[in-house]
């Protein structure tokens, strides 16, 4: 069994309130879940209106599948025009850890 985790540090574009931030982050979280079948949530920066951390997790018996899903999620996030991806961090844990 392999568990892959991916975290994004995002900078919001023209956002002036937490309410506006939610209107950007919620659709991103929902689309990642729908499109890639991953567990996803806003995991940090909830009190900052121009920054967000989004965490993703995927579990599989196939290491290649975990890597592929995380890579596709990262490429999808890079292409989002409403946010700037400041950093992305991938971690994969396996049975031999």
What H or E segment, with its residue span, contains residue 93? Answer: strand 83-93
Q: What is the dihedral of CA 89, 56, 59, 75, to 10 degrees?
A: -70
Q: State pLDDT tens for residues 57-85.
A: 999 999 999 999 999 999 999 999 999 99
- Residues listed for the chain: 97
pLDDT of residue 12: 93
What percentage of the chain has pLDDT greater than the value 70?
100
Supply 64's token pair. 């290649």
pLDDT of residue 97: 73
Q: Contact 69/5 with Cβ under 8 angstroms?
A: no
From the list 65, 52, 53, the residue with the least C-alpha distance to 4 is 65
* This prediction's pTM: 0.92
Q: What is the mean pLDDT of residues 5-29?
A: 95
């Amino acid at each position: 069994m392999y568990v892959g985790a991916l975290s994004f540090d995002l900078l919001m574009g023209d956002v002036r309130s937490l309410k506006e931030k939610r209107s950007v982050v919620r659709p991103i979280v929902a689309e990642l879940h729908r499109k890639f079948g991953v567990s996803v949530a806003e995991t940090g920066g909830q009190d900052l209106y121009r920054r967000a951390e989004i965490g993703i997790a995927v579990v599989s018996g196939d290491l290649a599948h975990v890597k592929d899903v995380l890579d596709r999620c990262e490429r999808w996030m890079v292409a989002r025009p409403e946010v700037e991806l400041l950093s992305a961090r991938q971690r994969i844990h396996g049975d031999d850890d």
